[in-house]
Amino acid sequence: MAGYVSDAVIRRLPGYYRHLKELEREGVMQISSQGLGDRMHLTASQIRQDINCFGGFGRQGYGYSVPELREHIARILGVDQPHQMIIIGSGNIGRAVACSDSFPANGFETTAIFDRDPDKIGMQVDAMIVQDIANVKRFINEHPADIAVLAIPAEEAQAMADTLYALGIKGFWNFAPCDLKLEADAAVVNVHLDEGLQVLSFRMLHQQA
């Protein structure tokens, strides 16, 4: 990829990936920047800029090969390789992530779910049994994982992230309503659901979609 990519472009990448997969399913093998832009509510020039930015290709007057561009974006996103996730916290969010079909379908497989609450340890969630968080080190040693889903209270999230980082986990999908401080070689994506609702409330009030 061509050097630094802005956060806005990175956030659009999964949208490209989704639309290209849909196009492929619909049997569309070739698409122009105009056609892709119409579909994604972006201008043709934005599309060309974005795709240039992540080192894309395409020929003037010919457009993009849908499967090639889809594969290219999959490689950039790193979703051409499988990921193993462990879920920390077996509350509503942890269980919802564990039970989803769409994450494994996209290459993100959940291998275990942990809790520290004795009432929850041993409970069945999807095809898994909730394990004692005290055993997380042994589990990771035996079953390497690269992503931890933090579905625990804010007060516990930083210490848990530190523990898991020391065990080799480098990716954190953080549902706790707090900001994590992580080492430079760790990555985090926050899903602050409360904050999304507040943004919705703002947009409703100010009609600024």
Does residue number 1 form part of the binding site for a second copy (CB under 8 A)?
yes
Token couple for 110: 């959940």
Rank residues 26 and 61 by Cβ distance to a second copy and give the closer one.
Answer: 26
Radius of gyration of the chain (CA): 20
End-to-end CA distance of the chain: 32
What region, left, alpha or beta, does residue 168 occupy, with left being phi > 0 and alpha being psi -120 to 50 degrees?
A: left
- Strand-pairing partners, residue 129, are 124
Does residue number 127 form part of the binding site for a second copy (CB under 8 A)?
no
126-133 long-range contacts (CB < 8 A, ≥24 apart) are 126/95, 126/98, 126/99, 128/98, 130/90, 133/88
74 to 93: interface string for a second copy, x by CB under 8 A: --xxxx---x--------xx
Contact predicate 150/142, CB 8 Å: no
Which residues 5-44 are close enough to bind a second copy by CB under 8 A? 5, 10-11, 13-15, 17-18, 40-41
- Selected binder of a second copy within 29, 99, 129, 159 (CB under 8 A): 99
Rank residues 32 and 100 by Cβ distance to a second copy and give the closer one.
Answer: 100
- Selected binder of a second copy within 26, 119, 142, 185 (CB under 8 A): 185
Only one of the segments 44-52, 112-120, 129-137, 195-203 lies at the binding site for a second copy (rule: CB under 8 A); that segment is: 195-203
Does residue number 201 form part of the binding site for a second copy (CB under 8 A)?
yes
Least CB distance from residue 194 to a second copy, whole Å? 6
Q: Is 121 helix (H, G, I), strand (E, B) or coil?
A: coil
Token couple for 70: 């889809």
Only one of the segments 25-33, 110-118, 134-142, 194-202 lies at the binding site for a second copy (rule: CB under 8 A); that segment is: 194-202
